[in-house]
Structure 1
Amino acid sequence: MRQGAVDSLGVGLGIFPLGFALGLLVIQADLPWWLAPALSIVVFAGSVELLLVSLIATSTPLLTIAATVFALNFRHVFYPLSFPVQVIKPGIRRAYSIYAMIDEAYATYVLMPPERLSSTRMLTGQLLMQAYWVAGGVLGVIVASFLPTPIEGFEFALVSLFIVMALDAARSRNEIPSIVLAGFSVALAMVLVPEAPLLAALGIFTLTLVARFFWERRRRAESLNQDAADTPKDEAPKDGEVSDA
């Protein structure tokens, strides 16, 4: 258990402030205080919880909320393929480990040497990671309830978070086409489907990413074929000449 606690410490220092922001945002949005711990316990998905607060506060249609959450968390479908969940015995413990497989837990344990992994260590680490998140949300609710007036502009915290994430991804030039496609998708959705631009933008962006994937795969295949065609072949020995072999 001590090793799991150590594993969770660095993660906790990072996600506790986000949980705190979640609690503040819930109160700022005039939502029930219990929504912060409820989301932290039931959903436990980091930035998605912050987004859910904004969507709930603006009475976003359920279909749009479901599609948005699915798009943002779709990567979790692939996490169990490499996450060492087999270390944990089947049953409630393994089910919880899969449920609590946030990005930070995945990054902590997926590269850890197998001989250092244990069921107790992983479960302790994941439980404490969620505890940091829940505690941050509860503290945020408490602090926000004592503030005399709402914090102006705090609702922009979620937008700021996603801007930082986008800029971090944009450091790689390979992601510039994705950013361009995202901007194109939003603009097209606002023109074609102004009543539900978010859902439409997600759909258009997904289709453009799929098209980009197949186009790049085809381009790589053509490049390999061209390189193979340009590679000079060994000339056959002429009559009367003796091969070096």
Structure 2
Amino acid sequence: ASRRAIEAAGRQPGEIDLIVVATTTPDQVFPSTACLLQSRLDIHGCAAFDVQAVCTGFVYAMGVADNSIKAGSARCALVVGAETFSRLLNWKDRTTCVLFGDGAGAVVLEASDEPGILSTHLHADGDYASLLQVPHGVSQGYDAMQENAAFVEMRGNEVFKMAVNTLGRIVDETLEKNNLRKSDIDWLIPHQANIRIINATARKLRMSLDHVVVTVQDHGNTSAASVPLAFDAAVREGRIKRGETLLMEAFGGGFTWGSVLAKY
């Protein structure tokens, strides 16, 4: 995914000066997946680190990279969302195992005088952690880790209600901060959690599903990879055109949520 993004941007790996990888399923406890990726791409010396915000991870990573470029600490950033969620699934629990998938997507962000990312909006509320979690790790629930029993636990109905309400608010916030109307958005690129949440967000925007990128039927919920995978599919299929205004939004465990408003 990273090599394809770098090639599509017309850049060489050596021109990348920041790598941000959004993942909940890192290759190792450490080093970071970003550092391992940096080595595989034969890139040396630039900052490389992971961001963990579950399904909102790619949106968080875009926000971090965008702010780094605006601050002048980077000029050409590789932003990746990658997951192997199949490793976290209890295949006897149909409330979760049928929903998730594995995947990776990447983009290259560069400093430019022309508008690209117009704004990013990132939020979290840890009080809701128990509604969607893997409650095991090296400090808590370590026995389950050793027994290969560290699985996703989700209270689906409660997550659905929170997701719909929260994504509605993030849409309003994004539009208000940019003095835009709902009709100004050409494409909605949502996190591919499930079609019910996607439909509810589209209704909030009063947007036809013809202008909502939906790929959940192809690869399920790939967590941090879902937004870049959907974006890539729409670009390759010729649906998204240069100059169009895109709203990317996501909601995930934590809870975390956020949006990216961009001009493609």
Q: TM-score range by the shorter chain?
A: under 0.3
Instruction: Name which one, 1 or 2, has greater alpha-carbon Rg.
Output: 1
Between structures 1 and 2, the one with greater strand share: 2
TM-score (norm 2): 0.25
Q: Kindly indicate which of the two structures has a greater share of residues assigned to helix.
A: 1
